[in-house]
Amino acid sequence: MSNLIVLGAQWGDEGKGKVVDLFCRHFDIVARYQGGHNAGHTVRIGSRKVILKLVPTGILRPGKQAVIGNGVVIYPPALLEEIETLEAVGVKPAGRLFISNRAHVLFPFHRMAEGVSEGRPGRVAIGTTSRGIGPCYEDKAARRGIRMADLLDAERFSELYQRLAEDKATLREAFRLSEPVGGEKTLREYAAYAERLRPMVTDTAMLLNRAIARGKRVLFEGAQGTMLDIDHGSYPFVTSSNASVGGASTGTGVPPRRIDGVVGVSKAYVTRVGGGPFPTEAAGEDGERLRTHGVEFGAVTGRPRRCGWFDAPLLRYAAAINGFDSLVITKSDVLDHFERIPVCVGYKLDGRLIEELPATPRALSAVEAVYETLPGWRTSTCGITAYRALPARAKDYLRFLEQQAGVEIGAISTGPERKQTILVRGSKLEKLLRG
């Protein structure tokens, strides 16, 4: 029985939500392994549009279990609001949603602490989602963070919270930050959240490992994307967790040997939100057209996404880091409108072709993208469900991406609905899904 990771091959927003939602009928449990309420998976079911930030998409399928792993940082008000929204649309998380007792808790002062770097003169603005994600992971790494298990222990929680709030008050003063730290009021609010979340908090690593031992199948759901990974992404313009393959193991407590496949999700072009290098960014009219046709605005913050052309060197890098078995290409129908479609096939730095992705933002920004231009198909592919029904030029485009990436394309998403998907017959992905 195989367990599978689905993660973003680019800078996030690749459409993982739909892919996980589609695949999870083959699995028993969907587990989220990193990030927090900075992520936003938009899932459409018929006319319904649900944005999931912390709860794994699997919750939408009756009978499936969902796990928020230890690698996730949890902002309780956001999680509770999401649970309420789900209940309002008839989805009942009770008894199916499990939260790791080792996941770290995010507080309002984490958001305040983000003001130390974001928006301060002389500091590099990452263009974060302003949710306090980075500072929460900072506390985790500094070994002063508060975990779900601590939150449930009233006495210990009060002590830990006061100590941490004291540190943040010092920070606030030193950096003349404007947001309040919070105090007794926050403490009381969190004590109330604890009681509401208590029935769902458990040792999810043990839950997952026991389930796997009983032959249950787990789908690991990544948030953000490989290029936003704290170690392998375009540092410092990254998020603060491991969005790439390793995060699935450290963020859930499931050994790598129990994970059988890795699926990368990539748009047929590229987008990114926030600052940082973007070698294939399309300036001007092309970028604008990609944004308009692709409705490229952030699910969480509403920010317009930067848009550009498919970047094969970037995908080859992501494939190397993650060991992709298969790719799902999303939003290929957005390219229906283009007469010519450039694809970046290589990078030049100082006039010379380079094989490796530069490690510094300065060098990655200085990279010159080398393009090959393919003819567009100029006809609607929206909603096509069979590979053979695609126009010849769309097939050529996809084959070209496959060759360039060096990884098979196992599925193509041709629209936002579950059924608007092509699963490529005989692909490795098909076998992995069958288990």
Catalytic positions: 13, 41
Shorter beta-carbon distance to ligand IMP: residue 106 or 146: 106
Q: Does 247 bind ligand IMP (CB under 6 A)?
A: no
Q: Does 244 bind ligand IMP (CB under 6 A)?
A: no
Q: 18-21: which pairs have CB atoms within 8 A and are 24 or more residues apart?
A: 18/42, 18/43, 18/44, 18/330, 18/413, 18/416, 18/418, 19/263, 19/265, 19/328, 19/330, 19/411, 19/413, 20/56, 20/57, 20/58, 20/219, 20/221, 21/45, 21/57, 21/58, 21/60, 21/61, 21/418
Q: Does 38 bind ligand IMP (CB under 6 A)?
A: yes
Q: Does 361 bind ligand IMP (CB under 6 A)?
A: no
Scanning 16-24, 144-152, 161-169, 234-242 for contacts with ligand IMP by CB under 6 A, the matching segment is: 234-242
Classify residue 334 by its DSSP letter.
G
Shorter beta-carbon distance to ligand IMP: residue 130 or 202: 130
Q: Does 307 bind ligand IMP (CB under 6 A)?
A: no
Q: Does 267 bind ligand IMP (CB under 6 A)?
A: no
Shorter beta-carbon distance to ligand IMP: residue 235 or 371: 235
Which among 294, 308, 329, 320 has a CA at the least distance from the CA of 401? 329
Shorter beta-carbon distance to ligand IMP: residue 235 or 317: 235
Strands 41-45, 48-52: parallel, antiparallel or unpaired by DSSP? antiparallel
Binding residue (CB under 6 A) for ligand IMP from 115, 274, 313, 415: 274
- Mapped onto helix, strand or coil, the DSSP state of residue 411 is strand
Establish whether the linkage from the previous residue to 304 is cis, with ω within 30° of 0. Answer: no
Q: How far is the CB of 285 from ligand IMP (least distance, A)?
A: 24
Which among 236, 233, 299 has a CA at the least distance from the CA of 245? 233
Tokens of residue 278, six digits: 């973007």
Shorter beta-carbon distance to ligand IMP: residue 295 or 353: 295
Q: Does 160 bind ligand IMP (CB under 6 A)?
A: no
Q: Does 234 bind ligand IMP (CB under 6 A)?
A: no
How far is 265 from 193, CA to CA, in rounded Å? 34
Q: How far is the CB of 115 from ligand IMP (least distance, A)?
A: 13
Contact status, residue 17 vs residue 52, Cβ threshold 8 Å: yes
Q: How far is the CB of 13 from ligand IMP (least distance, A)?
A: 5
Scanning 63-71, 157-165, 236-244, 406-414 for contacts with ligand IMP by CB under 6 A, the matching segment is: 236-244
How far is 349 from 357, CA to CA, in rounded Å? 10
Q: How far is the CB of 121 from ligand IMP (least distance, A)?
A: 20
Scanning 19-27, 37-45, 256-264, 412-420 for contacts with ligand IMP by CB under 6 A, the matching segment is: 37-45
How far is 2 from 18, CA to CA, in rounded Å? 20
Classify residue 131 by its DSSP letter.
S
# residues contacting ligand IMP (CB under 6 A): 20
Phi, psi of 428 (to 5 degrees): -60, -35
* 150: number of Cβ within 10 Å: 19
Contact pattern for ligand IMP over residues 102 through 141, marking x by CB under 6 A: ------------------------xxxx-x-xx-------
Interface contacts to ligand IMP, rule CB under 6 A = 12-13, 38-40, 126-129, 131, 133-134, 223-224, 228, 237, 239-240, 273-274
